[in-house]
Amino acid sequence: MVSNKKFMISLATAATLAGAGYVTAQNVVPNVGIQTVQASAINDYIANNNIQPVSIQYEQGTFNNWFGYENGVGKPEGVVVHETATPGATARNEVTYFNREWSNMYSYVHAFVDNNEIINIHSTDYGVWGAGPTANAKYVQVELCEVSSTDQFARSISNDAYYIAKKLIQYNLPFTPGTTVLSHNDVSQRYGDTNHTDPVGYFASWGYSMDQFYELIGNYYNNLKANGSVTNGGGNSTSPDNGNGTNTENTINVNNPNGSYVPIVAFQDDGSVKTVTNRALMNNTPWYTDKTRESDGVTYRRVATNEWVSTAYVK
C-alpha cells in the first residue's frame, strides 16, 4: 500500500558470460484464506498447476515528476512490495484511479499486479511516490491487488514474483531478501517515513508470508537468469519442504578451489543424485537457496527447481 492510499555456454565462452554468473559445461547465473490454505500449499499450487506469469505490459501513466534515484537515473537499489488494500479492485482499476488521482493523493507506484495482468505505468529508471522520501529515492515499487479466491491469489503472487525478479535482473541486482526486495512493512521499520505494514496482513489472511514470497521470487530469479523460464522446464515444486528437505532460505556463495566451475546435481526419483553435465555454477557467485537435501552423507543446497550444489562448495 502506498503512503497516502486507502489502501535466476559453454566453458569456452564462460568468460564472456562471467557477468551473468552462469556457464553451461557448460556454467548456472548467480543469484542467490480468508481461505484455509497453508503457505506451502500456495507455492505447491503454483508449481503443480504449472501456473505461468503473464507478460509485463508497459504504458506511460500520467505521473509527470521525473526524478532519478539517489544513485542516479536507472540505478534503483531494489523493489518494494505493496498491496492495495482495496478488495476486488483489478490492476486496471488501480491504474485508472492512480492516473486520475495521484496529484491529489501525492502517491504513485511503478506497477500494479493482479491475477490477470502486470501493468507498468512509469519507467523504473525513475523514482515514484510510494513509501516515503527515503525509499522513493531507492526502490522500484509495485502494488499487488487483493483478490478473492485461492487460484486468483496464487496467480497474482506468481505475477508479482515474476515482475520483481525481472526488475532485479534488469538492473543487475542480486536477490537479497530484506535488502533488494522489501515489503512496505520493512521500509516503515527501517526508515520510519511511513507506518504502513503491507503486504504482511494481506498475506497472513491467506496463510502466506513474506518468507514464502521470497522463496517464490528466489526460484523465479534463479531460473530466469539460467534459462529465461520461471519453472526451469517445470516439474518440481517451488515450495518449502515436501518431505524431501527443509526450508533454509538464504543466499550462499559458491566456489570450487580445485576447478574452474562448481558442479551441480539433480535428484532422481529414487533419491540418488546425477551430475548435471551441461551446466554448472560459476566460481565466486552468490545464489539464492531455499532447501537442503542429503544423499550418501552429502548435504546439497537447492539453487534451481531440481539443481543442487554440494555444501562442500559453499563458502
pLDDT on residue 281: 84
Q: Per DSSP, what are the bridge partners of residue 80?
A: 141, 182
Output the pLDDT for position 6: 35
State the pLDDT at residue 28: 45
CA distances from 141 to 28, 39, 48, 110, 309 (A): 28, 24, 29, 5, 33
Residues of the chain with pLDDT under 70: 1-40, 232-250
Domains assigned to the chain: 37-227 (3.40.80.10)
75: nearest Cα among 171, 8, 165: 171
Task: Write down the pLDDT at residue 2.
Answer: 63
Burial of 147 (0-12, 13-18, 19+ CB in 10 A): buried
66: CB partners within 8 A, 6+ apart = 126
Bridge partner residues of 60 (DSSP): none
Mean pLDDT rounded to a whole number for the chain: 82
What's the confidence (pLDDT) of residue 1?
66
